[in-house]
Chain A
Amino acid sequence: MASGAPQPTDHLRRSFVYRELLKAGAHFEGEGGAAIATHYGDPAGEEAAARRLGLADLSPLARAGFKGAGTAEWLATQKVAVPPESNQAVAQDGGALAARLAPGEVLILGALAGDDDLPARLTAAWAKAPVPPNTPRGFPVPRADTHAWFLLTGADSPAMFAKICGVDLRPAKFALGSIAQTSIARLNGTVIRDDKGRLPAYHLLADSASAGYLWGCLRDAMAEFGGTPIGLRAVRALANSA
């Protein structure tokens, strides 16, 4: 890695697994006040690998959570398309994803393209609303700190998940936009299917304090399929290759 290249420790916010990423040879770039792994030395090969089985750490990217009575209604006033049912996720116009985890809980994952700031806009709008509120609007939950955010991509990802998760995540059984709040490698986690192009892709969010453990479990489970870590560059390339 070139000296002077951006490093996770240059920033106050750091990925929960940045040491694992460094060991895997990650190259970083600054993104949203943190360093994110953009590639691991072979961006072109990485994109091909991601089509089979790739694991990206998206923890530095923006996300936000809102919970409590009035959450869905308040988000609707903010022009968020909230799924009508729990355990469904829908893409937003700017590329973000709104995942309804419960009648009164919504997780907002920022756009992978990085050009949409919906989580930050919503957090700011919530803070600016009158106190006490005119109508219930729930409360924000700091999902960027409570949960690590990984993305699993590629045709082999359902088979890999079958080793560590009891939910059948094959595309024929787990529709696009479905959410499973379940156990992954014995850890509570949230899986959201959000294909990249025509490839199966799954967001995986889990307790940030156990992120290193989960990363290791995923790498271990991926090994038999030749799965590798992939950077944000490959993720964005996949997303644009519809």
Chain B
Amino acid sequence: MPASQGEALWDALMDAGAAQGIRPFGVEAQRVLRLEKGHIIIGQDTDAMSHPHEVDMAWAIAKKKPFFVGGRSIELRLRQPTTRKLAGFAIDEPIHEMPGESNLVLRGNAIAGFVTSVVRSPNLERVIGLAYVHPDDAEVGKPIEIKLDSGRRLGAEVVPLPFYDPDNQRQEM
């Protein structure tokens, strides 16, 4: 798209969508939507130690290739015990204090992981998020505990991903 014509395209899109009530939306809406669908953001929901199995993305690894860059590192990593897993969690409203990204996930008094993403979902009317939890707690229905900024602890429940529209019905509208 030539930069000098970008604004004209924007205007045309807004005109074309006027009858349907088209509106501009910002990055925050995009962040909520992606989290509702359980899409991770590399660098936010992952860190330097993350590996595909930890974030349930082993499906993306080539199984038939004899070699690929990073393959050996994954092999070496898998020989180590898994100490955490990225899981979806939900908290029913109302809550008095919103969890924040980087809030710790505790298991007893031990640190099991931390919250990587969390929002109030307007579609689900609950607080939803992603967090690294102890592998034994990553199963759907398991309770986890989040230490809030105030120091208080808040209970949450591990729920299946994606949070919203698991059968991808909305794209068939």
What number of A residues sit within 8 Å (CB to CB) of B? 15
**Shortest Cβ gap from B3 to chain A (Å):** 4
**A146 / chain B contacts, CB cutoff of 8 Å:** 3
Which positions in B face A, CB cutoff 8 Å?
A: 2-5, 7-8, 11
**A59 / chain B contacts, CB cutoff of 8 Å:** 4
Q: Are A34 and B4 in contact (CB under 8 A)?
A: yes
Does A209 reach chain B (CB closer than 8 Å)?
yes
Does A153 reach chain B (CB closer than 8 Å)?
no
Give the secondary structure class of B's interface.
helix
Q: Which one of A11, A16, A144, A145 contacts B8 once the chains associate, using CB atoms below 8 Å?
A: A11
Q: Are A208 and B3 in contact (CB under 8 A)?
A: yes
**A182 / chain B contacts, CB cutoff of 8 Å:** none
Q: Are A144 and B11 in contact (CB under 8 A)?
A: no
Bitwise, A20-63 to B at CB < 8 A (1) or not (0) is 00000000000000100000000000000000000000010000
Q: Are A145 and B3 in contact (CB under 8 A)?
A: yes
Does A219 reach chain B (CB closer than 8 Å)?
no
**Shortest Cβ gap from A121 to chain B (Å):** 19
**Residue contacts A-B, CB under 8 angstroms, 27 given:** A9-B8, A9-B11, A11-B8, A12-B5, A12-B8, A13-B2, A13-B4, A13-B5, A13-B8, A14-B4, A14-B5, A14-B7, A14-B8, A15-B4, A16-B3, A16-B4, A34-B4, A59-B4, A142-B2, A144-B2, A144-B4, A145-B2, A145-B3, A146-B3, A208-B3, A208-B4, A209-B3
**B7 / chain A contacts, CB cutoff of 8 Å:** 14
**Shortest Cβ gap from B67 to chain A (Å):** 32
**Shortest Cβ gap from B12 to chain A (Å):** 9
Q: Once bound together, how far apart are the Cα atoms of A221 and B5, in whole Å?
A: 29
**B8 / chain A contacts, CB cutoff of 8 Å:** 9, 11-14
Q: Once bound together, how far apart are the Cα atoms of A14 and B12, in whole Å?
A: 14
**Shortest Cβ gap from A208 to chain B (Å):** 5
**B4 / chain A contacts, CB cutoff of 8 Å:** 13-16, 34, 59, 144-145, 208
Bitwise, A54-92 to B at CB < 8 A (1) or not (0) is 000001000000000000000000000000000000000
Look across to chain A and name the residue whose beta carbon is closest to the beta carbon of B12.
A12
Look across to chain A and name the residue whose beta carbon is closest to the beta carbon of B2.
A145
Those 5 A-B pairs whose CB atoms lie nearest each other, nearest first: A145-B3, A12-B8, A145-B2, A13-B4, A12-B5
Look across to chain B and name the residue whose beta carbon is closest to the beta carbon of A8.
B7
Look across to chain A and name the residue whose beta carbon is closest to the beta carbon of B1.
A145
Q: Once bound together, how far apart are the Cα atoms of A208 and B3, in whole Å?
A: 8
**A144 / chain B contacts, CB cutoff of 8 Å:** 2, 4
Q: Once bound together, how far apart are the Cα atoms of A144 and B11, in whole Å?
A: 20
Q: Once bound together, how far apart are the Cα atoms of A8 and B2, in whole Å?
A: 16
**A14 / chain B contacts, CB cutoff of 8 Å:** 4-5, 7-8
Chain B CB within 10 Å, residue with most, of A34, A145, A209: A145
Q: Name A117-155 residues within 8 Å CB distance of B.
A: 142, 144-146
Q: Once bound together, how far apart are the Cα atoms of A144 and B3, in whole Å?
A: 9
Q: Beyond A11-B8, A14-B4, A16-B4: 20 further Cβ-contacts under 8 Å? A: A9-B8, A9-B11, A13-B2, A13-B5, A13-B8, A14-B5, A14-B7, A14-B8, A15-B4, A16-B3, A59-B4, A142-B2, A144-B2, A144-B4, A145-B2, A145-B4, A146-B3, A208-B3, A208-B4, A209-B3
